[in-house]
Structure 1
Amino acid sequence: MTFSWRRRRGGRGGDGKNEGFKGINQDMELTIPTHFRCPISLDLMKDPVTLSTGITYDRESIEKWMDAGNITCPVTNQVLRNFDQIPNHSIRKMIQDWCVENKSCGVERIPTPRIPITPYEVTDVRSRIMAAARLGDARKCQELVGKIKHLAKESERNRRCIVGNGIGSALADSFESFARSSVNTHMSLLKEILAALTWTFPLDEEGVSKLKSAVSLRCMVLFLKSDDLSSRQNAVFVLKELVSADEACVDGLMGIEGGIEETLFQTVKVPICPKATKASLVVIHNMILSSKEQSDIITLRFVRIGLIPLLLEILVDGDKSVCEKALGIMDSICSLEEGRENAYENALTVPLLVKKILRVSDTATEFSISSLWKLCLGENERALVEAVQLGAFQKLLVVLQIGSSERTKEKVTELLKMMNLCRDKVDCVDSSMGFKYVKRSN
């Protein structure tokens, strides 16, 4: 039995499958043998593997099937005795020969797949990395880290296998070990380990404990202050994961001489890349949300170095994710009296907070309302009048109509009561605004 495949007219149609047929002449019909197609995807197999039931599938398709929790063979429905996937070299060679035979039709040869890494191999490399760290063998450790990075780049499957078998903890252990020995001596190796760590999260408890040590944190802050953009980027990525996983990391960062606030501020002010900016904002937010005693100190430090104008600048044209993070920080800053005073002194604060209500996301709306509520505490008449002039009253009515969290509803209600007392003092925005800010449901 065979399947027939006909390329659509126009050269750019189709559903994106059968990538090997990009060059086939229009209207040419090509017959593909059934046993060359994966029984799951019905696409030409690129890496055929055989299960214990004797049925051959494309590796990517059967792995997705197994990752979904299935324990049976899709074709026979038999329970699999094991999950071994044996490469079917015979079928793969036949497919490659068929591709070569049809080269004149524009069929590209399926490349010979690389053998994926196994959990046993990852465990072996993990043990060797930790042994090299204990012996202080930087050359061997760098060689093994390079090998891991190379294998991870080969395929997403390799990366999942590497991460799933604890390589992150070994890297964290090595990072602390060589940082403790001498940062200057092992600078190149530490940069390599840090780069690999960025894609190995989440780490287990042991790995996190190694990275949140004073030695490791000092080394990361050193990289964050360096002129090497790649190292700065990797350092802030790792710090973001650490402060999100363990609040104790904030205490460790606070204990570093020279402080980290100015460094994070500069990372946002002079962006490396959008991801690094978002990561920096996450670190700042987690630092501000630390324990109450530390939180106030950290927040005021950020306020005094000029974080508020920088956040407002981000809000002018930032994307959804960045705006949410910036508004979250602004909301925390407005919890302090000095923070509120500094925020209100900036002419852009109230206009931008009002503008972001119902314009970005539900999260951004809640942060905007909370910040505005805090600014208006004590019936700050100037802030209330300005908000009403900008149409906040109508927007808040819409928020009540479309629904929000109970805490946000309480703040909206309080704001409306306060604003209602000010409405006769200003020329209000046309109340016919209606529901133009409500997003349509998909």
Structure 2
Amino acid sequence: MVREELYITVPNLFRCPISMDVMRSPVSLCTGVTYDRSSIQHWLDSGHDTCPATMQTLPSKDFVPNLTLRRLINLWAQSHGPPSPSSSSSSLTVSEQQLKYVIDELKGKNEGENSKLIGNLSSIADFAGFSDENRRSLADFDGFVSAIVGVLSRGGAKMEILELVIRILDSILLDDRGREQAHVLISKRIQAFLTSIRLVLRNASLKAKIESARVLRSIANDEQSKRAISDNRDLVLELLNLLTSESDYDQALHDAVYSCLIAISATRSKKAQLVGLGIVNLLARTLSDRNTNKSVAENAMKLLSIVSTCAEGRSAISEDRRCAAAAVERLMKVSTVATEDAVAVLWSVCCLLGEKKTKESVVRSNGVARILLVMQSGYCEGHPVRRMCGDLLRVLKIGCSSDGFGLGSYQSKTTHILPC
């Protein structure tokens, strides 16, 4: 009963606008809006260039710690107790003895034998998620990151241990020093590490699956690890299965998976592989769903634009009529980057592939008007997006006018902004 009262009385000022949880490390963007560091870092790392609360385009992606708000939250937490059942006031402090005990147990491979280890790992996970300073102290503690990565690189741990270790690693990867250490250690035994991650993606809780996808996204910044992830067909299939699972349907999970797939789709062969595994169908479903939130839609559009750069991707997009219509629908309704990705998709299938029915689908979806709006929305002469819009207008007019479609049949009061 007391805990429920605490949930209700948490001041809105203390909640992150993205996660809606009490902020552990509040930071402010140049727009003046404050977010929890891990949430906004994930938003920006996913390719967004806007403030999530205001949708203003960010002239700078830098953020600064909001020390005043953090002090207020800490004072509130001390006087009111923990905001959720998963954390306690004691979880905000971890002793040197606890860390040494955990390191010894993990390195001694006794992780499945006692509940004391699980309790300590849970406390450390809460501690790591609380602030940047906590993550830095764990990264600096001799042998800790090595012990955590070792559990995943060695295999054989129980799922409860794996979930806690993934949770800790997900937090540590937000720290520059911790991320550098972890990447080096993971790369040395990358295949064994990926085997453990795949096990978590298949059998763990929803929260652990989200954290695992974020871990994969982080380590994909290392070229060797990126290749290992993209070459691991079973792991990629596991990620795609998460996008089709009804029991695991969750927008945060889809957001994390799409971010990971974007990170590993660097080469033509990897794009073609994703197309062959059915990614276009999944993206079409996501983008056609009006309930898809903006972050997921933007990541889905980014991935669709990536696969549209290969012939297999363009062919699959043209065959799925939902894709072109969804790209048109999202124009000017998402961030600048996502709008540009949608233009790139339409340009790829209409101008490069030139498939007639796709062009007709674009016109029927009011694509001409939307492309005109994008073209006139501030892009200077010669800008790639402006050039692509001009190309689209030409092919839509030429390619479809004989059948009653295209610019020739388009009637609108916006005709005064037609290109010369």
Counterpart of 2:332 in structure 1 is 358
1:387 and 1:410 map into 2 onto residues whose CA distance is 18
Counterpart of 1:77 in structure 2 is none
> Would you say the 8 A contact 2:284–2:326 is kept in 1?
yes
Counterpart of 1:163 in structure 2 is 135
3-state SS in 2 of match to 1:166: helix
**Structure with a larger share of its residues in helix:** 2
1:335 and 1:398 map into 2 onto residues whose CA distance is 24
Which of the numbers 122, 146, 156 marks the counterpart of 1:149? Answer: 122
Deviation at 1:341, TM superposition (A): 0.9
Matches within 5 A, 1:94-133: 110=79, 125-133=98-106
3-state SS in 2 of match to 1:388: helix
Counterpart of 1:64 in structure 2 is 67
3-state SS in 2 of match to 1:359: coil
1:262 and 1:336 map into 2 onto residues whose CA distance is 20
2:187 corresponds to 1:214: no
Q: 1:142 to 1:204 in 2, by over 3 A?
A: farther
1:231 and 1:321 map into 2 onto residues whose CA distance is 20
Counterpart of 1:103 in structure 2 is none
3-state SS in 2 of match to 1:251: helix
2:386 and 2:351 map into 1 onto residues whose CA distance is 16
2:151 corresponds to 1:178: yes
Matches within 5 A, 1:130-141: 130-138=103-111
Counterpart of 1:390 in structure 2 is 365
Deviation at 1:159, TM superposition (A): 3.8
> Would you say the 8 A contact 1:133–1:178 is kept in 2?
yes
Structure 1 stretches lacking a partner, 5+ long = 1-14, 18-62, 69-86, 93-108, 290-294, 436-442
Deviation at 1:255, TM superposition (A): 4.4
Counterpart of 1:273 in structure 2 is 250
Counterpart of 1:199 in structure 2 is 171
Counterpart of 1:298 in structure 2 is 270
1:300 partner letter: A
Which of the numbers 227, 231, 235 marks the counterpart of 1:251? Answer: 227
Deviation at 1:420, TM superposition (A): 3.6
Structure 2 stretches lacking a partner, 5+ long = 1-10, 14-65, 83-88
> Would you say the 8 A contact 1:163–1:200 is kept in 2?
yes
2:310 corresponds to 1:307: no
2:312 corresponds to 1:335: no
Counterpart of 1:31 in structure 2 is none
3-state SS in 2 of match to 1:377: helix
Matches within 5 A, 1:358-377: 358-377=332-351
**Taking structure 2 as the reference length, what is the TM-score of the superposition?**
0.66
1:208 partner letter: H
**Greater relative CO (CA pairs within 8 A, separation 6+):** 2
Q: 1:286 to 1:179 in 2, by over 3 A?
A: closer
> Would you say the 8 A contact 1:253–1:259 is kept in 2?
no
Counterpart of 1:240 in structure 2 is 217
Structure with max Cα Rg: 1
Deviation at 1:390, TM superposition (A): 2.9
2:398 corresponds to 1:421: yes
1:359 partner letter: K
Deviation at 1:220, TM superposition (A): 0.6
3-state SS in 1 of match to 2:243: helix
Q: 1:388 to 1:208 in 2, by over 3 A?
A: same
1:246 partner letter: D
Q: 1:387 to 1:143 in 2, by over 3 A?
A: same
Instruction: Give CA deviations for 1:334-388 in whole Å, capped at 9, x if unaligned.
Output: 1111211111011212211111111222222111100010112347161334323
1:303 and 1:112 map into 2 onto residues whose CA distance is 50
> Would you say the 8 A contact 1:123–1:165 is kept in 2?
no
2:81 and 2:400 map into 1 onto residues whose CA distance is 73
1:144 and 1:225 map into 2 onto residues whose CA distance is 24
Counterpart of 1:283 in structure 2 is 260
Counterpart of 1:41 in structure 2 is none
> Would you say the 8 A contact 2:239–2:257 is kept in 1?
yes
Q: 1:394 to 1:191 in 2, by over 3 A?
A: closer
3-state SS in 2 of match to 1:283: helix
Instruction: Give CA deviations for 1:295-346 in whole Å, capped at 9, x if unaligned.
Output: 2222222212222121111012211111111111111111111211111011
Deviation at 1:267, TM superposition (A): 0.5
Deviation at 1:136, TM superposition (A): 3.4
Counterpart of 1:98 in structure 2 is none
Counterpart of 1:409 in structure 2 is 386
Instruction: Give CA deviations for 1:44-100 in whole Å, capped at 9, x if unaligned.
Output: xxxxxxxxxxxxxxxxxxx924989xxxxxxxxxxxxxxxxxx9xxxx9xxxxxxxx
> Would you say the 8 A contact 1:122–1:162 is kept in 2?
no
Q: Percent of counterpart pairs with the same letter? A: 16
Instruction: Give CA deviations for 1:186-226 in whole Å, capped at 9, x if unaligned.
Output: 44423321132233332331112223422212211122122
3-state SS in 1 of match to 2:270: helix
1:67 and 1:112 map into 2 onto residues whose CA distance is 15
Q: 1:196 to 1:433 in 2, by over 3 A?
A: same
1:351 partner letter: A
Instruction: Give CA deviations for 1:149-173 in whole Å, capped at 9, x if unaligned.
Output: 33664897x5443212134985542
> Would you say the 8 A contact 1:315–1:326 is kept in 2?
yes
2:332 and 2:234 map into 1 onto residues whose CA distance is 37
> Would you say the 8 A contact 1:168–1:200 is kept in 2?
no
3-state SS in 1 of match to 2:172: coil
> What is the RMSD computed on CA atoms of the aligned residues?
3.8
> Would you say the 8 A contact 1:331–1:371 is kept in 2?
yes
1:241 partner letter: S
> Would you say the 8 A contact 2:214–2:260 is kept in 1?
no
Counterpart of 1:8 in structure 2 is none
2:390 partner letter: T
